[in-house]
Amino acid sequence: MIQKDASLETFIPFWLNQLTSKVNEQLAERLSEIGISVPQWRVLSILHSFGSMSIGKISELAVINQSTLSRVIDQLERSNLVSRTPLPENKRVIEVSLTDLGERTFSEIFPVASELHSFMESQLTEIEREAFFSISHKLILALQVRKK
C-alpha cells in the first residue's frame, strides 16, 4: 500500500535515476556526433582503464546485462575497436581487448566525457564532491551486501 504522504522529493532512487538519466542524455548527445553510443563508450573506457577482461566482468563494471553487452561488443568488433579471444586455459571464457584503433578512438572521444565530468565537478565544492563519493560508495557497498 502506498502512503499518502510518500514524496519523490526525498526518494533516493528517484533522484539517482534523474541524475543518471541527465548524464546519459547529455553524454549520448555528444557521443552520437562521433558515432559512439553510451554503452559502447562504457565498454571502451572500461577496457582502456582496466585492460582485457571477460564479458562477465565487463557486464558487471558497465552495469549492462550480458545479452545486451554481447550486441554492443559485436558492434565494436565489427568496427575493429575490440577483439575477442578465448582464454587458452578455458576456451568457454572469452576475453575482450581494445584494438589499436579502439585505443585511438578512446583517446579521441575521452575529451567529450571529460568535459561533462569537469562541468559536473565544477558545480560542487570540494566538500560536496567528497561527500558525494563517500555517500555513493557507502550505498553501493550496502546494496552489494544486501543482495547476498
Q: What is the mean pLDDT of residues 23-42?
A: 94
Non-local CB neighbours of 123 within 8 Å, separated by 6+ positions: none
Predicted local distance difference test score (pLDDT) of residue 6: 65
Is 107 within a domain?
yes
Is 34 within a domain?
yes
Report pLDDT digits (tens) over 54-79: 999 999 999 999 999 999 999 999 99
Residue 20 banded pLDDT, cuts 50, 70, 90: very high
Our count of domains for the chain comes to 1
Range(s) of the domain holding residue 87 = 29-113
What is the full DSSP assignment across the chain? ---TT--GGG-HHHHHHHHHHHHHHHHHHHHHTTT--HHHHHHHHHHHHH-SEEHHHHHHHHT--HHHHHHHHHHHHHTTSEEEEEETTEEEEEEEEE-HHHHHHHHHHHHHHHHHHHHHHHTS-HHHHHHHHHHHHHHHHHHHHHH-
Residue 17 banded pLDDT, cuts 50, 70, 90: very high
Is 138 within a domain?
no
Residue 70: how many other CB atoms lie within 10 Å = 15
Do 33 and 59 form a contact (C-beta atoms < 8 A)? no
Is 140 within a domain?
no
Q: How many CA atoms lie less than 13 Å away from 112 in the CB half-sphere?
A: 23
Mean pLDDT over each residue of the chain, to the nearest integer:
92
Is 67 within a domain?
yes
* CATH code (residue 67): 1.10.10.10
Residue 33 phi, psi dihedral angles, 5° rounding? -65, -25
Report pLDDT digits (tens) over 105-130: 999 999 999 999 999 999 999 999 99
Q: What is the pTM of this model?
A: 0.85
Lowest pLDDT segment from 3-7, 13-17, 79-83 = 3-7
Residue 4 banded pLDDT, cuts 50, 70, 90: low
Report pLDDT digits (tens) over 43-56: 999 999 999 999 99
Q: What is the mean pLDDT of residues 85-92?
A: 84
